[in-house]
Chains A and B, each alone.
Chain A
Protein backbone atom coordinates (compact mmCIF):
# COMPACT_ATOMS: atom_id res chain seq x y z
CA UNK A 1 0.00 0.00 0.00
CA UNK A 2 1.13 3.51 -0.68
CA UNK A 3 1.04 6.23 1.95
CA UNK A 4 0.61 9.01 -0.63
CA UNK A 5 -3.07 9.56 0.16
CA UNK A 6 -2.47 9.59 3.92
CA UNK A 7 -0.46 12.78 4.17
CA UNK A 8 -1.02 15.30 1.36
CA UNK A 9 1.34 18.18 2.08
CA UNK A 10 0.51 21.27 0.06
CA UNK A 11 2.28 24.35 -1.23
CA UNK A 12 0.20 27.38 -2.08
CA UNK A 13 1.17 29.90 -4.75
CA UNK A 14 -0.76 33.07 -5.60
CA UNK A 15 -0.27 33.56 -9.35
CA UNK A 16 -2.27 36.74 -10.00
CA UNK A 17 -5.28 36.14 -7.82
CA UNK A 18 -7.45 38.92 -6.38
CA UNK A 19 -6.71 37.25 -2.98
CA UNK A 20 -10.27 35.92 -2.70
CA UNK A 21 -9.15 32.34 -3.39
CA UNK A 22 -6.02 32.77 -1.24
CA UNK A 23 -8.14 33.67 1.75
CA UNK A 24 -10.25 30.58 1.09
CA UNK A 25 -7.14 28.39 0.81
CA UNK A 26 -5.98 29.67 4.18
CA UNK A 27 -9.49 29.25 5.60
CA UNK A 28 -9.34 25.61 4.54
CA UNK A 29 -6.20 25.14 6.65
CA UNK A 30 -7.48 27.18 9.63
CA UNK A 31 -9.54 25.82 12.57
CA UNK A 32 -12.93 26.36 10.88
CA UNK A 33 -12.36 23.71 8.21
CA UNK A 34 -9.23 22.14 9.70
CA UNK A 35 -7.80 20.32 6.69
CA UNK A 36 -5.12 18.87 8.99
CA UNK A 37 -7.79 16.26 9.91
CA UNK A 38 -6.82 14.66 6.59
CA UNK A 39 -3.11 15.16 7.18
CA UNK A 40 -2.88 18.33 5.07
CA UNK A 41 0.06 20.54 6.04
CA UNK A 42 0.94 23.83 4.40
CA UNK A 43 4.67 23.36 3.85
CA UNK A 44 5.59 26.56 2.04
CA UNK A 45 8.46 24.64 0.43
CA UNK A 46 8.15 22.92 -2.99
CA UNK A 47 10.68 20.23 -2.01
CA UNK A 48 8.46 19.10 0.88
CA UNK A 49 5.11 19.34 -0.92
CA UNK A 50 2.95 16.75 -2.72
CA UNK A 51 0.16 18.99 -3.96
CA UNK A 52 0.58 22.36 -5.66
CA UNK A 53 -2.34 24.74 -5.05
CA UNK A 54 -2.35 27.59 -7.56
CA UNK A 55 -4.76 30.50 -7.35
CA UNK A 56 -5.23 33.17 -10.02
CA UNK A 57 -4.52 33.26 -13.72
CA UNK A 58 -1.20 32.91 -15.52
CA UNK A 59 0.54 35.91 -17.08
CA UNK A 60 3.98 36.30 -18.60
CA UNK A 61 5.44 37.56 -15.33
CA UNK A 62 4.50 34.54 -13.22
CA UNK A 63 4.57 31.64 -15.70
CA UNK A 64 8.28 31.09 -14.90
CA UNK A 65 7.59 31.04 -11.18
CA UNK A 66 4.82 28.45 -11.52
CA UNK A 67 7.05 26.25 -13.67
CA UNK A 68 10.01 26.65 -11.30
CA UNK A 69 7.92 25.54 -8.29
CA UNK A 70 6.46 22.62 -10.29
CA UNK A 71 9.89 21.44 -11.41
CA UNK A 72 11.26 21.58 -7.88
CA UNK A 73 8.55 19.32 -6.44
CA UNK A 74 9.60 15.66 -6.09
CA UNK A 75 7.49 12.92 -7.66
CA UNK A 76 4.70 11.93 -7.17
CA UNK A 77 3.06 15.36 -7.31
CA UNK A 78 -0.36 16.76 -8.20
CA UNK A 79 -1.53 20.21 -9.24
CA UNK A 80 -4.85 21.77 -8.24
CA UNK A 81 -6.15 24.86 -10.04
CA UNK A 82 -8.04 26.71 -7.28
CA UNK A 83 -10.88 28.97 -8.47
CA UNK A 84 -12.19 30.12 -11.84
CA UNK A 85 -9.16 32.27 -12.72
CA UNK A 86 -6.76 29.38 -12.14
CA UNK A 87 -9.07 27.03 -14.09
CA UNK A 88 -9.42 29.10 -17.26
CA UNK A 89 -8.67 32.77 -16.65
CA UNK A 90 -12.05 33.68 -15.11
CA UNK A 91 -13.18 37.28 -15.43
CA UNK A 92 -9.68 38.25 -16.50
CA UNK A 93 -9.52 35.76 -19.40
CA UNK A 94 -9.45 38.43 -22.16
CA UNK A 95 -7.15 40.92 -20.46
CA UNK A 96 -4.21 41.86 -22.67
CA UNK A 97 -1.63 40.45 -20.23
CA UNK A 98 -3.44 37.25 -19.19
CA UNK A 99 -2.33 34.01 -20.84
CA UNK A 100 -5.11 31.89 -19.28
CA UNK A 101 -5.55 29.20 -16.66
CA UNK A 102 -2.75 27.36 -14.87
CA UNK A 103 -2.97 24.52 -17.42
CA UNK A 104 -1.26 26.85 -19.92
CA UNK A 105 1.90 26.73 -17.79
CA UNK A 106 1.98 23.23 -16.22
CA UNK A 107 -0.17 20.06 -16.41
CA UNK A 108 -3.15 20.38 -14.04
CA UNK A 109 -4.70 17.31 -12.37
CA UNK A 110 -7.72 18.70 -10.53
CA UNK A 111 -9.84 21.78 -11.26
CA UNK A 112 -11.64 23.34 -8.27
CA UNK A 113 -14.12 25.90 -9.62
CA UNK A 114 -15.70 28.82 -7.79
CA UNK A 115 -15.31 32.57 -7.43
CA UNK A 116 -13.99 32.46 -4.85
CA UNK A 117 -13.40 28.72 -4.50
CA UNK A 118 -15.19 27.36 -1.41
CA UNK A 119 -13.19 25.55 1.30
CA UNK A 120 -15.53 22.55 0.83
CA UNK A 121 -14.62 22.45 -2.88
CA UNK A 122 -10.93 22.70 -1.99
CA UNK A 123 -11.08 19.82 0.49
CA UNK A 124 -12.93 17.80 -2.17
CA UNK A 125 -10.22 18.69 -4.71
CA UNK A 126 -7.45 17.63 -2.31
CA UNK A 127 -9.21 14.27 -1.76
CA UNK A 128 -9.39 13.88 -5.57
CA UNK A 129 -5.71 14.81 -5.85
CA UNK A 130 -4.86 12.04 -3.36
CA UNK A 131 -6.17 9.52 -5.91
CA UNK A 132 -4.02 11.17 -8.57
CA UNK A 133 -1.01 10.89 -6.24
CA UNK A 134 -1.67 7.16 -5.79
CA UNK A 135 -1.83 6.67 -9.57
CA UNK A 136 1.34 8.69 -10.09
CA UNK A 137 3.10 6.69 -7.39
CA UNK A 138 2.29 3.49 -9.27
CA UNK A 139 3.57 5.10 -12.49
CA UNK A 140 6.71 6.28 -10.71
CA UNK A 141 7.46 2.72 -9.59
CA UNK A 142 7.36 1.71 -13.26
CA UNK A 143 9.94 4.37 -14.03
CA UNK A 144 7.69 7.07 -15.46
CA UNK A 145 8.49 10.65 -14.49
CA UNK A 146 6.54 13.88 -14.96
CA UNK A 147 8.18 16.07 -17.62
CA UNK A 148 10.48 18.86 -16.50
CA UNK A 149 9.04 21.96 -18.11
CA UNK A 150 11.67 24.51 -19.21
CA UNK A 151 10.89 27.96 -17.86
CA UNK A 152 10.78 29.46 -21.37
CA UNK A 153 8.85 26.58 -22.96
CA UNK A 154 5.94 27.62 -25.21
CA UNK A 155 2.51 28.02 -23.61
CA UNK A 156 0.76 24.65 -23.29
CA UNK A 157 -2.46 23.81 -25.10
CA UNK A 158 -5.63 24.59 -23.12
CA UNK A 159 -6.67 21.62 -20.94
CA UNK A 160 -3.53 19.66 -21.86
Chain B
Protein backbone atom coordinates (compact mmCIF):
# COMPACT_ATOMS: atom_id res chain seq x y z
CA UNK B 1 0.00 0.00 0.00
CA UNK B 2 2.82 2.41 0.87
CA UNK B 3 4.46 1.61 -2.48
CA UNK B 4 1.23 2.47 -4.24
CA UNK B 5 0.91 5.80 -2.38
CA UNK B 6 4.58 6.59 -3.06
CA UNK B 7 4.06 5.89 -6.78
CA UNK B 8 0.96 8.08 -6.96
CA UNK B 9 2.64 10.96 -5.11
CA UNK B 10 5.79 10.48 -7.19
CA UNK B 11 3.78 10.51 -10.43
CA UNK B 12 1.99 13.73 -9.46
CA UNK B 13 5.28 15.43 -8.57
CA UNK B 14 6.85 14.09 -11.78
CA UNK B 15 3.90 15.36 -13.85
CA UNK B 16 4.47 18.87 -12.46
CA UNK B 17 8.27 19.02 -12.34
CA UNK B 18 9.44 16.89 -15.31
CA UNK B 19 7.90 19.16 -18.01
CA UNK B 20 9.57 22.19 -16.38
CA UNK B 21 12.98 20.50 -16.19
CA UNK B 22 12.54 18.90 -19.62
CA UNK B 23 11.58 22.23 -21.17
CA UNK B 24 14.67 23.88 -19.66
CA UNK B 25 16.88 21.03 -20.94
CA UNK B 26 15.33 21.34 -24.41
CA UNK B 27 16.02 25.09 -24.45
CA UNK B 28 19.57 24.44 -23.32
CA UNK B 29 19.94 21.80 -26.04
CA UNK B 30 18.87 24.24 -28.77
CA UNK B 31 21.11 26.98 -27.38
CA UNK B 32 24.19 24.71 -27.17
CA UNK B 33 23.44 23.18 -30.60
CA UNK B 34 23.25 26.69 -32.07
CA UNK B 35 26.60 27.53 -30.46
CA UNK B 36 28.15 24.40 -31.97
CA UNK B 37 26.86 25.47 -35.41
CA UNK B 38 28.14 29.05 -35.08
CA UNK B 39 24.67 30.55 -34.57
CA UNK B 40 23.12 32.69 -31.87
CA UNK B 41 20.15 30.39 -31.54
CA UNK B 42 16.72 30.90 -29.97
CA UNK B 43 16.01 32.15 -26.46
CA UNK B 44 16.10 29.66 -23.59
CA UNK B 45 12.29 29.93 -23.28
CA UNK B 46 11.70 29.00 -26.94
CA UNK B 47 10.50 25.39 -26.35
CA UNK B 48 7.97 26.70 -23.79
CA UNK B 49 6.65 29.27 -26.27
CA UNK B 50 6.46 26.60 -28.99
CA UNK B 51 4.31 24.35 -26.84
CA UNK B 52 2.07 27.20 -25.66
CA UNK B 53 1.56 28.18 -29.29
CA UNK B 54 0.74 24.61 -30.31
CA UNK B 55 -1.86 24.45 -27.52
CA UNK B 56 -3.52 27.58 -28.97
CA UNK B 57 -3.64 26.25 -32.52
CA UNK B 58 -6.73 24.84 -34.17
CA UNK B 59 -7.63 21.25 -33.23
CA UNK B 60 -7.22 19.28 -36.44
CA UNK B 61 -7.07 15.51 -36.31
CA UNK B 62 -7.68 12.80 -38.88
CA UNK B 63 -9.49 10.63 -36.31
CA UNK B 64 -10.54 10.67 -32.67
CA UNK B 65 -8.37 7.86 -31.31
CA UNK B 66 -5.06 9.56 -32.14
CA UNK B 67 -5.47 12.05 -29.29
CA UNK B 68 -6.52 9.26 -26.89
CA UNK B 69 -3.44 7.18 -27.71
CA UNK B 70 -1.18 10.22 -27.19
CA UNK B 71 -2.88 10.97 -23.85
CA UNK B 72 -2.27 7.33 -22.81
CA UNK B 73 1.38 7.58 -23.91
CA UNK B 74 1.80 10.73 -21.81
CA UNK B 75 0.03 9.13 -18.82
CA UNK B 76 2.24 6.05 -18.81
CA UNK B 77 5.40 8.12 -19.30
CA UNK B 78 4.42 10.08 -16.18
CA UNK B 79 3.68 6.87 -14.25
CA UNK B 80 7.08 5.47 -15.30
CA UNK B 81 8.74 8.69 -14.13
CA UNK B 82 6.80 8.58 -10.86
CA UNK B 83 7.87 4.94 -10.29
CA UNK B 84 11.51 5.77 -10.88
CA UNK B 85 11.83 9.04 -8.98
CA UNK B 86 9.83 7.81 -5.98
CA UNK B 87 12.47 5.08 -5.60
CA UNK B 88 10.23 2.35 -6.99
CA UNK B 89 10.86 -0.72 -9.08
CA UNK B 90 13.22 -0.08 -11.99
CA UNK B 91 12.12 -3.13 -13.98
CA UNK B 92 8.49 -2.03 -13.81
CA UNK B 93 9.57 1.47 -14.83
CA UNK B 94 11.26 0.14 -18.02
CA UNK B 95 8.16 -1.87 -18.92
CA UNK B 96 5.77 1.05 -18.32
CA UNK B 97 7.86 3.43 -20.44
CA UNK B 98 7.87 0.81 -23.23
CA UNK B 99 4.06 0.71 -22.97
CA UNK B 100 4.12 4.49 -23.42
CA UNK B 101 6.25 4.09 -26.58
CA UNK B 102 3.79 1.50 -27.90
CA UNK B 103 0.87 3.89 -27.45
CA UNK B 104 2.84 6.53 -29.34
CA UNK B 105 3.43 4.05 -32.18
CA UNK B 106 -0.27 3.09 -32.20
CA UNK B 107 -1.22 6.76 -32.45
CA UNK B 108 0.90 7.12 -35.59
CA UNK B 109 -0.43 3.87 -37.13
CA UNK B 110 -4.04 4.90 -36.43
CA UNK B 111 -3.78 7.86 -38.82
CA UNK B 112 -3.17 5.56 -41.84
CA UNK B 113 -0.95 8.18 -43.43
CA UNK B 114 1.94 6.61 -45.39
CA UNK B 115 4.53 8.97 -43.88
CA UNK B 116 3.29 8.43 -40.34
CA UNK B 117 3.23 4.66 -40.94
CA UNK B 118 6.83 4.64 -42.14
CA UNK B 119 7.72 6.70 -39.07
CA UNK B 120 5.81 4.29 -36.82
CA UNK B 121 7.54 1.28 -38.40
CA UNK B 122 10.90 2.91 -37.78
CA UNK B 123 9.94 3.77 -34.20
CA UNK B 124 9.14 0.07 -33.71
CA UNK B 125 12.63 -0.76 -34.97
CA UNK B 126 14.06 1.74 -32.50
CA UNK B 127 12.21 0.06 -29.64
CA UNK B 128 13.52 -3.29 -30.91
CA UNK B 129 17.06 -1.91 -30.96
CA UNK B 130 17.22 -0.45 -27.47
CA UNK B 131 15.02 -2.85 -25.52
CA UNK B 132 17.63 -5.68 -24.99
CA UNK B 133 20.07 -3.21 -23.43
CA UNK B 134 17.35 -1.81 -21.17
CA UNK B 135 16.57 -5.33 -19.89
CA UNK B 136 20.31 -6.01 -19.39
CA UNK B 137 20.50 -2.79 -17.36
CA UNK B 138 17.70 -3.97 -15.08
CA UNK B 139 19.26 -7.45 -14.72
CA UNK B 140 22.70 -5.96 -14.03
CA UNK B 141 21.21 -3.63 -11.45
CA UNK B 142 19.60 -6.57 -9.63
CA UNK B 143 22.80 -8.62 -9.67
CA UNK B 144 24.87 -5.77 -8.25
CA UNK B 145 22.43 -4.16 -5.83
CA UNK B 146 20.31 -7.21 -5.00
CA UNK B 147 17.13 -5.23 -5.59
CA UNK B 148 15.16 -3.65 -8.40
CA UNK B 149 14.19 -0.76 -6.10
CA UNK B 150 15.87 2.51 -6.99
CA UNK B 151 15.64 3.57 -3.33
CA UNK B 152 17.79 0.55 -2.46
CA UNK B 153 20.73 2.12 -4.28
CA UNK B 154 21.16 4.60 -1.40
CA UNK B 155 22.09 1.67 0.90
CA UNK B 156 25.06 0.61 -1.24
CA UNK B 157 28.69 1.24 -0.28
CA UNK B 158 29.81 1.48 -3.89
CA UNK B 159 27.68 2.91 -6.70
CA UNK B 160 26.48 0.70 -9.59
CA UNK B 161 29.11 2.15 -11.91
CA UNK B 162 31.93 0.37 -10.00
CA UNK B 163 30.73 -3.12 -10.97
CA UNK B 164 28.54 -2.19 -13.92
CA UNK B 165 30.50 0.26 -16.05
CA UNK B 166 30.18 -1.86 -19.24
CA UNK B 167 26.40 -1.81 -18.76
CA UNK B 168 26.59 1.97 -18.25
CA UNK B 169 28.47 2.34 -21.57
CA UNK B 170 25.85 0.18 -23.27
CA UNK B 171 23.09 2.33 -21.78
CA UNK B 172 24.87 5.45 -23.07
CA UNK B 173 24.83 3.95 -26.56
CA UNK B 174 21.07 3.33 -26.59
CA UNK B 175 20.44 6.67 -24.84
CA UNK B 176 21.14 8.31 -28.20
CA UNK B 177 18.29 6.26 -29.69
CA UNK B 178 15.98 7.02 -26.76
CA UNK B 179 16.63 10.78 -26.85
CA UNK B 180 16.02 10.75 -30.64
CA UNK B 181 19.42 12.21 -31.41
CA UNK B 182 21.28 11.89 -34.69
CA UNK B 183 22.68 9.37 -35.82
CA UNK B 184 19.64 7.41 -34.55
CA UNK B 185 16.79 9.90 -35.18
CA UNK B 186 15.34 7.69 -37.88
CA UNK B 187 11.66 7.77 -36.90
CA UNK B 188 11.34 11.54 -36.50
CA UNK B 189 13.94 14.27 -36.48
CA UNK B 190 14.14 17.59 -34.68
CA UNK B 191 15.37 19.06 -37.93
CA UNK B 192 13.59 19.16 -41.28
CA UNK B 193 16.50 18.07 -43.43
CA UNK B 194 15.84 14.40 -43.84
CA UNK B 195 14.05 12.24 -46.33
CA UNK B 196 11.26 11.41 -43.88
CA UNK B 197 10.72 14.87 -42.48
CA UNK B 198 8.58 14.50 -39.38
CA UNK B 199 7.96 10.77 -39.65
CA UNK B 200 5.92 9.47 -36.76
CA UNK B 201 4.44 12.91 -35.91
CA UNK B 202 3.42 13.73 -39.51
CA UNK B 203 -0.33 13.70 -38.84
CA UNK B 204 -0.19 15.20 -35.36
CA UNK B 205 -0.82 18.92 -35.10
CA UNK B 206 -1.72 21.66 -32.64
CA UNK B 207 -2.59 20.49 -29.10
CA UNK B 208 -1.79 16.83 -29.91
CA UNK B 209 1.70 17.79 -31.07
CA UNK B 210 2.12 19.86 -27.90
CA UNK B 211 1.36 16.74 -25.85
CA UNK B 212 3.94 14.80 -27.88
CA UNK B 213 6.47 17.50 -27.06
CA UNK B 214 5.66 17.28 -23.33
CA UNK B 215 5.90 13.48 -23.61
CA UNK B 216 9.44 13.83 -24.99
CA UNK B 217 10.40 16.19 -22.17
CA UNK B 218 9.17 13.68 -19.56
CA UNK B 219 11.02 10.84 -21.34
CA UNK B 220 14.25 12.86 -21.44
CA UNK B 221 14.09 13.59 -17.71
CA UNK B 222 13.42 9.91 -16.99
CA UNK B 223 16.22 8.59 -19.21
CA UNK B 224 18.74 11.04 -17.76
CA UNK B 225 17.63 9.76 -14.35
CA UNK B 226 18.54 6.25 -15.52
CA UNK B 227 22.11 7.35 -16.24
CA UNK B 228 22.31 9.23 -12.92
CA UNK B 229 21.18 6.07 -11.09
CA UNK B 230 24.59 4.49 -11.73
CA UNK B 231 26.33 7.01 -9.45
CA UNK B 232 24.06 6.71 -6.41
CA UNK B 233 25.39 5.26 -3.15
CA UNK B 234 25.02 5.88 0.58
CA UNK B 235 25.27 9.55 1.50
CA UNK B 236 23.77 12.69 -0.08
CA UNK B 237 27.06 13.59 -1.81
CA UNK B 238 26.40 10.84 -4.37
CA UNK B 239 23.35 12.80 -5.59
CA UNK B 240 25.61 15.72 -6.53
CA UNK B 241 28.05 13.38 -8.30
CA UNK B 242 25.08 11.87 -10.17
CA UNK B 243 23.85 15.33 -11.26
CA UNK B 244 27.32 16.29 -12.54
CA UNK B 245 27.55 13.09 -14.58
CA UNK B 246 24.02 13.56 -15.92
CA UNK B 247 24.99 17.05 -17.13
CA UNK B 248 28.11 15.60 -18.79
CA UNK B 249 26.09 12.83 -20.45
CA UNK B 250 23.55 15.35 -21.78
CA UNK B 251 26.32 17.52 -23.21
CA UNK B 252 27.87 14.43 -24.83
CA UNK B 253 24.51 13.58 -26.42
CA UNK B 254 24.19 17.11 -27.87
CA UNK B 255 27.74 16.85 -29.21
CA UNK B 256 26.97 13.48 -30.84
CA UNK B 257 23.74 14.92 -32.29
CA UNK B 258 25.65 17.73 -33.96
CA UNK B 259 28.56 15.68 -35.25
CA UNK B 260 27.16 12.49 -36.71
CA UNK B 261 25.14 11.87 -39.84
CA UNK B 262 22.06 9.70 -39.54
CA UNK B 263 22.51 5.97 -40.16
CA UNK B 264 20.19 3.44 -41.77
CA UNK B 265 18.00 1.32 -39.51
CA UNK B 266 20.00 -1.82 -40.31
CA UNK B 267 23.15 -0.22 -38.89
CA UNK B 268 21.27 0.99 -35.82
CA UNK B 269 19.75 -2.42 -35.08
CA UNK B 270 23.02 -4.27 -35.67
CA UNK B 271 25.14 -2.03 -33.47
CA UNK B 272 22.57 -1.62 -30.73
CA UNK B 273 22.36 -5.41 -30.37
CA UNK B 274 26.13 -5.93 -30.67
CA UNK B 275 26.77 -3.32 -27.97
CA UNK B 276 24.00 -4.81 -25.79
CA UNK B 277 25.33 -8.37 -26.14
CA UNK B 278 28.99 -7.46 -25.65
CA UNK B 279 28.67 -4.83 -22.90
CA UNK B 280 25.60 -6.25 -21.17
CA UNK B 281 26.37 -9.93 -21.78
CA UNK B 282 29.99 -9.84 -20.59
CA UNK B 283 29.13 -7.67 -17.59
CA UNK B 284 26.35 -10.00 -16.50
CA UNK B 285 28.50 -13.10 -17.10
CA UNK B 286 31.29 -11.65 -14.94
CA UNK B 287 28.80 -10.74 -12.21
CA UNK B 288 27.30 -14.23 -12.34
CA UNK B 289 30.49 -16.28 -12.29
CA UNK B 290 33.13 -14.09 -10.65
Query: Quick one: which of B41, B49, B58, B201 contacts A74, CB cutoff 8 A?
Result: B58
A74 and B198 within 8 A (CB) = no
Contact A76 B40 (CB under 8 A): no
Please, which residues of chain A bring their CB within 8 A of the CB of B59? Answer: 74
Asked whether A34 lies within 8 Å of B58 as measured between CB atoms, the reply is: no
Q: Is A34 touching B34 in the complex (CB atoms < 8 A)?
A: yes
- List A24-75 residues whose CB lies under 8 Å from chain B: 31, 34, 36-39, 41-45, 47-48, 50, 74-75
B50 at the interface (CB under 8 A from A): yes
- Chain B residue contacts of A6, Cβ below 8 A: 46, 49-50, 52-53
A57 to chain B, nearest CB (A): 24
User: Chain A interface: which of B76-84, B168-176, B202-210, B264-272?
Assistant: B202-210
Contacting pair A7 B50 (CB below 8 A): yes
B60 in contact (CB, < 8 A): yes
Closest approach, in angstroms, between the C-beta of A54 and any C-beta of chain B? 17
Query: Count of B residues near A, CB < 8 Å?
Result: 29
What are 11 A-to-B residue pairs whose CB atoms are below 8 Å? A2-B56, A4-B53, A6-B46, A6-B53, A31-B38, A39-B46, A45-B201, A48-B201, A48-B205, A75-B57, A140-B58
In whole angstroms, how far apart are the Cα atoms of A43 and B30 in the complex?
15
In terms of DSSP, what is the predominant structure of the interface of chain B?
loop
A48 to B57, alpha carbons, bound, how many Å?
Answer: 10
Pick the residue among A36, A37, A74, A140 that contacts B205 (CB under 8 A).
A74
Structural contact, B46 and A7, CB atoms closer than 8 A: yes
CB atoms of B49 and A48 under 8 A apart: no
The residues of B that contact A9 with a CB separation of less than 8 Å are: 50
**Assembled-state Cα–Cα distance A43/B52 (Å):** 17
A: number of interface residues (CB 8 Å): 25
Q: Are A4 and B197 interface neighbours, CB within 8 A?
A: no
8 Å CB contacts to A: which residues of B184-211?
192, 197-198, 201-206, 209
A111 within 8 A of B: no
Near A by CB (< 8 A), chain B positions 27-51 give 30, 34, 37-43, 46, 49-50
Q: Which of B58, B192, B201 contacts A75 (CB 8 A)?
A: B58
In angstroms, Cα B57 to Cα A7, docked, is 12
| Distance between B111 CB and nearest chain A CB, rounded to angstroms | 10
A130, chain B: closest CB distance, angstroms: 11
Q: Closest residue to B113 on the A side, CB-wise?
A: A47
Q: Is the Cβ of A74 less than 8 Å from the Cβ of B197?
A: no
Give the contacting residue for B192; candidates A38, A43, A74; CB below 8 A.
A43
Is there a chain B Cβ closer than 8 Å to A96's Cβ? Answer: no
Which residue of B38, B41, B198, B205 is within 8 Å of A44 (Cβ)? Answer: B198
A47 touches B205 (CB 8 A): yes
With A34-B40, A39-B46 given, name 5 new contacts (CB 8 A).
A36-B42, A39-B49, A42-B192, A74-B57, A76-B58
If A39-B49, A76-B57 touch, whether A44 touches B37 (CB-CB below 8 Å) is no
Q: How far is A42 from B205 in the complex, measured between Cα atoms in Å?
A: 15
Q: A31-B37, A31-B38, A44-B197 are in contact. Are A137 and B56 (CB under 8 A)?
A: yes
What distance in Å separates the Cβ of B120 from its nearest Cβ neighbour in chain A? 15
Known: A7-B49, A74-B57, A74-B60. A43 touches B198 (CB 8 A): yes
Instruction: Please give me the residue from chain B that is nearest to A137 by CB atom.
Output: B56
B53 touches A3 (CB 8 A): yes
For the complex, give the distance between the alpha carbons of A103 and B50 in Å.
29
Given A36-B42, A74-B57, are A47 and B197 also a contact pair (CB < 8 Å)?
no
In whole angstroms, how far apart are the Cα atoms of A47 and B286 in the complex?
51
Residues of B within 8 A of A37 (CB): 39-42
A9 to B206, CA, bound (A): 12
Inter-chain contact A47/B56, CB cutoff 8 Å: no
Give which listed residue, A3, A42, A45, contacts B56 with CB less than 8 A.
Answer: A3
